Copies of this chain bind each other. A is one copy, B any other.
Amino acid sequence: MTLDARLTVQRGGLTVAVELAVADGEVLAVLGPNGAGKSTVLRVLAGLLRPDAGRVVVDGDQLWDAAGVHVPAHRRSLGMVFQDHLLFPHLSATENVAFGLRARGMPRARARAAAAGWLDRVGLGDLGERRPGQLSGGQAQRAALARALVGDPRVLLLDEPLSSLDARTRLTVRAELHRHLAEYRGSAVLVTHDPVDAMALAGRVLVVEDGRIVQAGTPAEVARRPRTDYVARLVGLVLLPGTGSGTSVALEGGGTVAVAEEVTGPVFAVIRPESVALYLERPAGSPRNVWPLRLVSATPHGSVVRCDLAGEVPLTADVTATSFAELGLAPGAAVWASVKASEVAVHTR
């Protein structure tokens, strides 16, 4: 079943104007900074918020249009995870999950059995009788996810469904969700801040910033050619917009980057943090890109340390824990960063 929407809606000063299409069985991840309008878009798709203009079509059925068509939420066949769960406080976890089935007419016993099954799948098998107030944050979020998934709805709208899960549970629940979505025949929209979720679960990614779509494509495409700083950082790259001429790019923020190929016009220079080397003194060697920078923060990240650097060309460098220790760097320290021209990818803006 296809979800096809174009919507404009005013939200506290922000204009959210988004167009999206999700094919049968497809999962669309919506990424974007806080306050970009992601939840707003989901509310419109759910029919909980009327847009100012546009249309929402599912499977050819007009659900909303500016001419006055409005199919209310309860007739849209939805499964929705709200960012703040909104589990019914007076019902047990099982009753919460069974609610949608009961509302759609399933007999009580069958609904409870289905609910119990889903609670099991998200690892809450033995907490079915608990009220939401008696669940931990992560448990509540999983119950909310089970509640959204159980009814086999036409459209799934998941607003950060995994954000409160611990690392291990997140893996298993994500795998469970992956399995479910792989077989799922409706359209799914997943809002997340975790690029791993997006890559693992979604076939296509939409990046929303300030209410507008800034990039769309497969996760791999978006990761390879980020078009905004937000996306670049999300996938762990450094994005430097500038103007190419010959084998150098004059950056918008000042400074230049040497690149391997000839480029002209507006481009993005993309640098992988792994390719950035750090020195305490100015290195003498082949790399043509050498900048004096300042260490802002250093956070261990598995076996590497991610160093945020500020200066003429803001960079992020990943260095191994060992070499980081050898450099003896503290936040605020002055360092030299170098990147080989051949390690700088360039794509046109």
B-binding residues in A (CB < 8 A): 12, 31-36, 38-39, 83-84, 130, 134-139, 142, 159-160, 163-171, 174-175, 178, 193, 195-196, 199-200, 219-220, 223, 229-230, 233-236, 272, 274, 296-297, 299-303, 308
Contacts and interface: CB of A to CB of B under 8 A. Distances in A.
Contacts of A164: 34, 83, 160, 163, 193
Most chain B CB atoms below 10 A, which of A169, A175, A193, A302: A302
A160 B134 contact: no
A301 B195 CA distance: 8
A178 B297 contact: yes
B134 A299 contact: no
B300 A136 contact: no
A136 B166 contact: no
A83 B130 CA distance: 19
A218 to B, nearest CB: 11
A275 to B, nearest CB: 11
Given A34-B137, A230-B166, A300 B199 contact: yes
Contacts of A33: 138, 166, 168-169
A223 B300 contact: yes
Given A34-B137, A138-B34, A138-B35, A200 B300 contact: yes
Copies per assembly: 2
7 contacts: A31-B166, A32-B166, A34-B137, A36-B136, A83-B164, A163-B164, A196-B300
Contacts of A272: 303
A35 B168 contact: no
A169 B36 CA distance: 12
A176 to B, nearest CB: 10
A175 B308 contact: yes
A165 B193 contact: yes
B195 A167 contact: yes
Given A166-B34, A175-B308, A193-B165, A137 B233 contact: no
Contact of A34 (B134, B165, B199): B165
A34 B300 contact: no
Given A34-B139, A138-B35, A199 B160 contact: no
A142 B168 CA distance: 26
